[in-house]
Amino acid sequence: MKRTSWTVSSWVLALLLTLPIMALIYEALLPTEDVFRHLWGSVLPTYISNTFRLVVGVMLFSFLAGVPAAWLMAMCELPSKRYLQWALILPLAMPSYIVAFVYTDLLDFSGPVQSTLRHWFGWQSASDYYFPAIRTLGGAALVLGLVLFPYVYLLARTAFMEQSLSLVQSSRLLGCSPWQSFKRISLPLARPAIVVGLSLVAMETLAEFGTVNFFAVNTLTTAVYDTWLGYGSLNAAAKISAIMLLVVMLLLSLERMSRKRQQVFQKSLGQEQHSGYVLTGLTKWCALVFCWSLVLLGFLLPFVILCYHAIRYFDKAWNSRFFEYSLNSLLLSSVVAGLALMVALVLAMSHRLTGKTYTQIPKRLASMGYALPGAVLAIGVLVPLTSLDFAINDAALWLGLAEPGLVFTGTMAAIAFGYLVRFGAMAIGSVESSLGKVSPSLDMVSQTMGYRPSAIMMKVHVPLIRKGILAGVLLVFIECMKELPAALLLRPFNFQTLATYVYQFVSDEQLELGALPAIVIVLVGLIPLIFLNRSLEQTH
């Protein structure tokens, strides 16, 4: 394959992966239907208000939980710190809707917590005492904060560890307490990284569907879902999705601005060995209780309850449906991971062959889908594929042939394409990073030996970047296993993944029957966290 062919292929793939975004914008710009006018004049302002309040609440909790935990792990010496610094990452592996059900089951009126309180104090009904309701917007913010605060923790901890030790030592010499040093030096220097983490939290909250739907908190994500499945209006769903797309673009712009500022403020000498503050007495115990409480509430307690239900209801959960849906998830995730690898290799190789700046554009275009919430992406996929299905059936009817039906939207093709658009960026980034470390001289030597570009890629590049390839494929595979909103909207009839299977039990308040597949999802989600923690330990 000549260099021109590689370039053309990269542009074709990039345009294909950006097709849902372009289709979404096109559909949103079409004349407004009555459904959207009705929603805008009735419930949509409430949905926007709920979304804003939820995002702010989750960001606030994530800041109050993630930043202190990051500073304690980076700047202080504590017992069990070796285990705490990676245990604080674990909540990321726990799907939020599972955590939501666990705490609803624990804290509802009929749950063990309130039942125990009534037994202890002799209360007879809810009117005899006050207990905060969990199925509220505040409860949803708390649950999402427990799951998402590690984004802020990870980035803030890295920023604190990379700060110049001389500044911290100078503050000590000037008589600053640990709190004063944190407020005056560490926090301002880490502010750009914290803003990036909060931006990620905001985007994940904006994309959340399972928890808010279970708690009956109406947000823009649930509006997209209900508008398409309830009203059947693709136009109205596209317009609501376009509103969310604007919010995501605003958050991404804020994140990029913070990253530029971080290049100015970040000041690390790299080789410094940090001797942390040694906490003692009450301060030490308060720090330990704070950090371990986050681990307990965000991961350990839900995971233990899942294990209890999985063991107790093992005979009912271990059935043919569990194996069928596990196979569906395995097959779908494997196909998407393989396709994502092929796309990543073509895009990376195209830039490698030419070395021109403009060949970076296809990679950036193909990576845009990762920023889209799952529900928004699903609408973007449905717009062109639905039109394509109608066109195929109309053509068959015109030719006098039998109508083939829903060739794309009625098969696994739609959900696979949606996953590829959203998670392909992971494989692209991983392959690009690894390929950038391979010396260009190897390409020159291979060309002098008569190897064509495809042979150079397979015989030289792929063996050298196999670790990066494995990391990218694993990340795509795992994210596909966990994805819920896009799966709910794009899956064909009678097709379930493990995520939708678990959510079905959660919606019916029967998580005990879905505990076994939920554990599978959690354990799969732990894999990238283990890789991430090892990379952080090797870096620092």
H helices present in 436-497, as ranges: 440-448, 453-456, 462-464, 466-482, 485-490
Burial category of 397 from C-beta neighbours within 10 Å (exposed 0-12, middle 13-18, buried 19 and up): exposed
pLDDT, residue 169, reads: 60
**Residue 326, number of CB atoms within 10 A of its CB:** 18
Q: What is the pTM of this model?
A: 0.81
Whether residue 263 is predicted with pLDDT greater than 60 in this model: the reply is no
Alpha carbon separation from 197 to 99, 152, 486 (Å, rounded): 21, 4, 24
Mean pLDDT, rounded, for 78-87: 85
Q: Indicate if the alpha-carbon torsion angle 303, 309, 314, 318 is positive or negative.
A: negative
pLDDT, residue 430, reads: 77
Q: Are 348 and 362 in contact (CB under 8 A)?
A: no
Q: How far apart are CA 88 and CA 81, in angstroms?
A: 10
Condensed to tens digits (0 to 9), the pLDDT of residues 180-214 reads: 666 666 777 777 778 878 888 888 888 888 888 88
Q: Is 76 strand, coil or helix?
A: strand
- Sequence-distant (6+) residues with CB within 8 A of 416 are 332, 335, 336, 339
Mean pLDDT, rounded, for 212-222: 87
Q: Which residues pair with 76 in a beta bridge?
A: 277
- Which of 227-236, 293-302, 432-441, 483-492 has the highest average model confidence (pLDDT)? 293-302
Whether residue 125 is predicted with pLDDT greater than 70 in this model: the reply is yes
Burial 152-191 (b: 16+ CB within 10 A, else e): bbbbbbbbbbbbbeeebeebeeeebebeebbeebbbebbb
Nearest to 418 by CA among 448, 378, 474: 378
Q: Are 426 and 476 in contact (CB under 8 A)?
A: yes
pLDDT, residue 172, reads: 63
Q: Are 286 and 280 in contact (CB under 8 A)?
A: no
User: Domains of the chain (ranges plus CATH)?
Assistant: 1-24+313-540 (1.10.3720.10), 32-307 (1.10.3720.10)
- Which of 56-60, 364-368, 405-409, 522-526 has the highest average model confidence (pLDDT)? 56-60
